[in-house]
């Protein structure tokens, strides 16, 4: 392998990893909601769009750095999620219907209302936050003058990645160490058992939906410095979130992180070595492969190993 090929490979791996970290954060919100409530939330991407608009307006009006908006958009989306769950999702889950999937229409409707409201309020203009460090990067040749290859590491991408890791870490801590986190995990793993153990399942559901929304809102803030924003942007991220959720294993947080990273790497490698037009096919092929051969997702592999010993 010549140095040129090596450069392409390494650069591809770097981008894949960074992209994967961000994907993971989108997937985390989805996996929480799907794990606890067993519903398919097609408004997930639209919630992310709302988070991005918050970051955008905070930046434009008050000059707040998008990364700081994580602490604004997160809580706002948390409460929005709680409201959606309490007033819309719960009434639908309660009633008896032939197919439980009718909640899907509900989330489609919510998504339509959110993106349409954004169009009315903010016009359909494309927006972004032109932060000063938008295209800065670290270069290998700046550090190591004689380097035979040139690699670059984008600053905003790296910062977003680090933020994503930090948020994920905080979530992990919350779910593992706090009582409420444990109750959420219990509800996710076995609803009936959780009920028997005296977990307030209703409340856990509300909190989970809020938490999932808050996470994806935060993800929106991390995306806007490197991406852009318009009202109809949600759909594609909803799909990505699904892929990660299934790849990682429903309800598993570690799984979602690994799923995100795998997806990011896989997409980047497909883009380089097969063709970028095929990258989305690759995305869905590993999705179906995961559904078939790894029904529990990556998480089941991890579990098997720990139990095996």
Partner 1 sequence: MRCPTLVLRAAFAVSICGASLLQGADPLNLSIPLPLTGGQAKFGEMMKRSYEMATDEINAKGGVKGRKVILAFEDSQAKADSARAIVEKLIDVKKQPIIIGEYTSACAKAVAAVANERKTPYLIVASADDAITQQNYKYVFRQNVPNAYYAQGLVSFFKDVVKPQSIAILFESSDFGTSGAADMEKHAQRMGMKVVLKEKYEKGAVDFKPILSKVKQAAPDVIFMVSYVMDASLLMKQLKELRVDAKLFAGGAAGFALPEFVDNAKDAAEYVVTATLWTPQVKYKGAKEYADKYKAKFGDFPSYHGASAYSAMYVVQDVLTRAKSLSQEDITAAMKKTDLQTAYGHIKFEDRDGYQNQCFSETFVLQVQKGEHQTVWPATYANQKYLFPIPKWRDRK
Partner 2 sequence: MNRVAIPLAVFGALLALPLIGLSSYTMHILVLVLMWTTIGMAWNLLGGYCGQVSFGHAAYFGVGAYTAGILYFKLQISAWWGIPLSVAVVSVFAFLLGYIVLKLRGPFFALATLASGEVLRITTENMGEFTNGTLGILIQQRTWIEKTWYYYIILAIAALTFVVIRKLVASKWGYYFVAIREDQDAAESLGIDTTRYKTIALVISAILTGICGAFYTNYMGYIDPHIVFALHDISIITIMIVMVGGVATEWGALIGAGIMVLLAEWIRAIPGLGASHQAFFGILLIAIIIFLPNGIVGDLPKITRLFRRARA
Which spans of this chain sit near partner 2 (rule: CB under 8 A)?
34, 38, 40, 42, 88, 91-92, 95-99, 101-106, 108-113, 115-117, 119-120, 124, 235, 239, 242-243, 246, 250, 275, 277-278, 280-281, 284-285, 287-288, 291-292, 295
Measured in Å, how far apart are the chain's first and last C-alpha atoms? 39
Q: Which of residues 210-249 bind partner 1 (CB under 8 A)?
A: 223, 226-228, 230-233, 236
Q: How far apart are CA 66 and CA 82, in angstroms?
A: 24
Of the pair 14, 76, the CB lying nearest partner 1 is at 14
Of the pair 107, 154, the CB lying nearest partner 1 is at 154
267 binds partner 1 (CB under 8 A): yes
C-alpha separations of 118 from 47, 50, 92, 123, 290 in Å: 11, 8, 25, 7, 35
Q: Which of residues 139-178 bind partner 1 (CB under 8 A)?
A: 139, 150, 152, 154
**What is the number of other CB atoms lying within 10 angstroms of the CB of residue 95?**
7
15 binds partner 1 (CB under 8 A): yes
Nearest to 220 by CA among 246, 199, 241, 200: 241
Residues with Cβ within 8 Å of 105's Cβ and at least 6 positions away in sequence, in order, are none
Helices (H) and strands (E) in the chain, counts: 14, 2
Contact stretch for partner 1 (CB under 8 A) within 6-14, 80-88, 163-171, 244-252: 6-14
Q: Taking CB within 5 to 8 Å according to partner kind, which of partner 2, partner 1, none is near residue 243?
A: partner 2
- Which helix (H) or strand (E) covers residue 194, if one does? helix 191-196
Of the pair 75, 235, the CB lying nearest partner 2 is at 235
Nearest to 92 by CA among 104, 81, 80: 104
Nearest to 226 by CA among 152, 126, 167, 157: 157
Of the pair 90, 128, the CB lying nearest partner 1 is at 128
| Residues shown for the chain | 309
C-alpha separations of 126 from 46, 79, 139, 145 in Å: 15, 26, 30, 40
* Smallest separation (angstroms) from partner 2 to the CB of 305: 23
Widest pairwise Cα distance in the chain: 70
200 binds partner 1 (CB under 8 A): no
* Smallest separation (angstroms) from partner 2 to the CB of 103: 8
134 binds partner 1 (CB under 8 A): yes
Of the pair 224, 247, the CB lying nearest partner 1 is at 224
Query: Which residues of this chain interact with partner 1, rule CB under 8 A?
Result: 4-5, 7-8, 11-12, 14-16, 18-19, 22, 115-116, 119, 123-126, 128, 130, 134-135, 137, 139, 150, 152, 154, 223, 226-228, 230-233, 236, 267-269, 271-272, 275-277, 279-280
């Amino acid at each position: 392998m010549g140095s040129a090929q090596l450069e392409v490979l390494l650069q591809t791996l770097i981008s894949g990893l960074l992209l994967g970290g961000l994907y993971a954060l989108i997937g985390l919100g989805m996996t929480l909601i799907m794990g606890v409530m067993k519903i398919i939330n097609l408004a997930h991407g639209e919630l992310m769009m709302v988070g991005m608009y918050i970051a955008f307006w905070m930046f434009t009006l008050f000059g707040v750095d998008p990364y700081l908006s994580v602490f604004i958009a997160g809580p706002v989306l948390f409460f929005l999620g709680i409201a959606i769950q309490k007033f819309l999702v719960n009434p639908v889950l309660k009633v008896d219907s032939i197919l439980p999937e009718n909640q899907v229409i509900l989330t489609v409707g919510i998504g339509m209302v959110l993106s349409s409201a954004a169009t009315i309020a903010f016009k359909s203009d494309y927006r972004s936050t032109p932060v000063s460090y938008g295209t800065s990067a670290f270069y290998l040749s700046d550090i190591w003058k004689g380097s035979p290859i040139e690699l670059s590491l984008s600053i905003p991408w790296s910062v977003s990645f680090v933020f994503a890791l930090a948020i994920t870490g905080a979530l992990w801590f919350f779910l593992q160490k706090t009582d409420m986190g444990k109750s959420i995990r219990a509800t996710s793993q076995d609803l009936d058992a959780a009920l028997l153990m005296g977990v307030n399942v209703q409340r856990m559901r509300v909190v989970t939906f809020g938490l999932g929304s808050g996470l994806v809102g935060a993800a929106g803030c991390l995306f806007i410095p490197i991406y852009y924003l318009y009202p109809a942007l949600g759909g594609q991220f909803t799909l990505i979130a699904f892929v990660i959720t299934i790849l990682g294993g429903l309800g598993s947080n570690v799984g979602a992180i690994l799923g995100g990273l795998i997806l990011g790497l896989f997409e980047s490698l497909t883009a380089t070595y097969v063709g970028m037009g095929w990258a989305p096919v690759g995305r869905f092929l590993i999705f179906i492969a995961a559904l078939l051969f790894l029904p529990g997702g990556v998480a089941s592999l991890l579990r098997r190993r720990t139990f095996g010993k």
